[in-house]
Amino acid sequence: MSGPSTYEPKTGIERWLDQRLPVLRMMHDSFVDYPTPRNLNYFWTFGAILMLCLVVQIVTGIVMAMHYTPSITEAFSSIQRLKRDVPFGWLIQNIHATGSSMFFLAVYIHMFRGLYYGSYKAPREVLWILGVVIYLLMMATAFLGYVLPWGQMSFWGATVITNFFSAIPVVGVPVKEWLMGGFAIDNPTLNRFFSLHYLLPFVIFGVVILHVWALHVTGQNNPDGIEVKDKSDTVAFTPYATIKDFFATAVFMIMFAAFVFYLPDALGHPDNYIPADPLKTPPHIVPEWYLLPFYAILRAIDFAIGPISAKLGGLILMVGAIAVLVVLPWLDTSKVRSMRYRPVARQFFLVFVLVCLALGWCGAQSPDKVVWQAGEFSIAGSYAAGAAGEQKLTATGNTLEEVEKTFGKQLAGAIASNGAGTLTKTVVTPFQFKVTQFSQLLTLYYFAFFLLILPILGLRETPGRVPETIAKAIGAKRAAATERGA
């Protein structure tokens, strides 16, 4: 897409600079005259929104680092000091904490957009893979950052996640101890997590530059998934895309601000307002919402497969869930890029989105929680006490506890009236579909979508008719709209 440069230096200083470092030429060609497909919808504004998120996180993060103390005795109170005593410290901390959620919300929309419109397909494979790398770095940064306030969830989240590394054969335990800087999560862990949390955003920034570079080489994909043929298919980035990005970003900021100013704690866990206590495990250890789907996949495997322990199996699947995205450009065999013209694939995609949301739900639940139960629990017993003979006792209820309670009362009554004796009882447990099984089912679909559905569907489905050019696609859309209107 990067055609010949149209930049013309207007002043002597610009000419002078252009001959020595053509940085203004690069900016002009990338953000002013850059040809943009004219059919882009609002999903294409999330690149700009994500750029805003990254800058906001880095700026607020740098200010927070000026007030934060990475020490297990001081970390929690240094955040409190920031929120109470530093001018606008409460605002900076709220923006940074809420900002991570907004960043992930935007990145998920951005990724699902890429999946739906086939933005990963040739020639944009490298662009897509760089995006996956950014996402991976974001997850690492977010995890490290969540540990820094040194609340209960910080500490126990770090404990659970670093523990999973010990499942790796041979090197697992040394790797875990290397990550923790000792044999448990402690001051060295906090120090290195702080160091890395400060480092990684700049690594992300570097990869973002590569991501944007790759984008400007191949040009943007578009909702119709048709390559740009000539100038009639495009508009100049400025003012067309710029003003649309500004508008969408402003709308996004309204939602962002609503969370920052009115729901600052809605996306966090109350336990993280309790200082970390290594001797007190919280009843439910959960990561932040944006990591929940992967946490569900991690916990879905509760059985060993040959030499692979349940723990290692979960770890392999969680890593695989992201790794599969890297090879996605070669898994999807369809010649048609956009799902706008793939009616069957669209159905599978919709299910995939729901599966990801359901995995997120599973990640937040206790693995033993019963999702669905066929019928009731019941206890049927008979109590034999000497002369009184046999006495039938039955109880039913929705939980084992409830049934045992009712049964216990009956039994106590029988004992009171007949004296000591012997009890024979049969407990009937109905079939229970628990969160773990639900997660397994969802994980199965997650992988099947990439490894089976997309490869097979691309070869077997009959796609709709794809217009030859973007201009024609717009023409067809407008004609349909007029027809509907008439």
Partner 1 sequence: MVRGFFIAAVVALAPFAAHAQEARHPHPEHWSFSGPFGTFDQGAVQRGFQVYKEVCAACHTMDHLTYRHLGEKGGPFVASGKWNAASGGWEEIHLGPPHHGGRFVPPTDNPFVRAIAESYEITEVDPTTGEEITRKGRSADRFVSPYSNPYQAKAVHGVAPPDLSVITKARHDGANYVHAILTGYTDAPEGEVAPGGATNLSYNSYFAGGWISMPPQLTPDRVTYSDGTAATPDQMARDVVTFLAWASEPKQIERKKTGMMVLIYLSILAGLLYAAYRQVWRDVKH
Residues that bind partner 1 (CB under 8 A): 38-40, 77, 80-81, 83-84, 90-91, 94, 235, 239-240, 243-244, 246-247, 250-251, 253-254, 257-258, 260-262, 264-265, 270-271, 273-275, 283, 374-376, 401, 404-405, 407-408, 411, 415, 420-432, 471, 474-475, 478
> From the CB of 426, what's the least distance to partner 1, in Å?
5
Nearer to partner 1, 166 or 373 (CB): 373
Nearer to partner 1, 392 or 405 (CB): 405
> From the CB of 395, what's the least distance to partner 1, in Å?
11
> From the CB of 440, what's the least distance to partner 1, in Å?
18
Nearer to partner 1, 273 or 348 (CB): 273
Nearer to partner 1, 131 or 381 (CB): 381
Nearer to partner 1, 309 or 394 (CB): 394
Spatial distance between the Cα atoms of 86 and 68, rounded to a whole number of angstroms: 11
Longest Cα–Cα distance of the chain, Å, equals: 116
User: Are the beta carbons of 276 and 297 closer than 8 angstroms?
Assistant: no
Q: What is the DSSP letter of 151?
A: B
Q: What would the two tokens of residue 229 be?
A: 């043929």
CA geometry: angle 223, 226, 228, nearest 5 deg: 110
Q: Which helix (H) or strand (E) holds 262?
A: helix 242-262
> From the CB of 408, what's the least distance to partner 1, in Å?
4
Spatial distance between the Cα atoms of 17 and 11, rounded to a whole number of angstroms: 10
> From the CB of 231, what's the least distance to partner 1, in Å?
13
Single-letter residue type at 419:
G
Nearer to partner 1, 347 or 424 (CB): 424
> Is 291 exposed, middle or buried, given 0-12, 13-18 or 19+ CB atoms closer than 10 A?
buried
User: Are the beta carbons of 85 and 96 closer than 8 angstroms?
Assistant: no
Nearer to partner 1, 377 or 446 (CB): 377
Q: What would the two tokens of residue 118 be?
A: 């086939």
Spatial distance between the Cα atoms of 1 and 29, rounded to a whole number of angstroms: 11
Nearer to partner 1, 40 or 180 (CB): 40
Other beta carbons within 10 angstroms of residue 393's beta carbon come to 20
> From the CB of 153, what's the least distance to partner 1, in Å?
11
SS3 6: coil
> From the CB of 253, what's the least distance to partner 1, in Å?
5
Place of tokens 């294409």: 44
Spatial distance between the Cα atoms of 233 and 472, rounded to a whole number of angstroms: 9
- What secondary structure does DSSP assign to 299-358, as a single string? HH--S-BTTB-HHHHHHHHHHHHHHHHHSHHHH---S---GGG-HHHHHHHHHHHHHHHH
CA nearest 154: which of 64, 279, 287, 57? 287
Nearer to partner 1, 203 or 371 (CB): 371
> From the CB of 167, what's the least distance to partner 1, in Å?
30
DSSP-H helix ranges across 117-167? 125-147, 152-165
User: Are the beta carbons of 224 and 338 closer than 8 angstroms?
Assistant: yes
Spatial distance between the Cα atoms of 209 and 127, rounded to a whole number of angstroms: 11
Spatial distance between the Cα atoms of 236 and 33, rounded to a whole number of angstroms: 5
SS3 463: coil
> From the CB of 374, what's the least distance to partner 1, in Å?
4
Nearer to partner 1, 7 or 240 (CB): 240
> From the CB of 15, what's the least distance to partner 1, in Å?
30
Phi first, then psi, for residue 276 (nearest 5°) are -55, 135
> From the CB of 43, what's the least distance to partner 1, in Å?
14
CA nearest 45: which of 350, 329, 253? 253
Nearer to partner 1, 250 or 459 (CB): 250
> From the CB of 240, what's the least distance to partner 1, in Å?
6
Nearer to partner 1, 275 or 467 (CB): 275
Nearer to partner 1, 14 or 404 (CB): 404
> From the CB of 444, what's the least distance to partner 1, in Å?
22
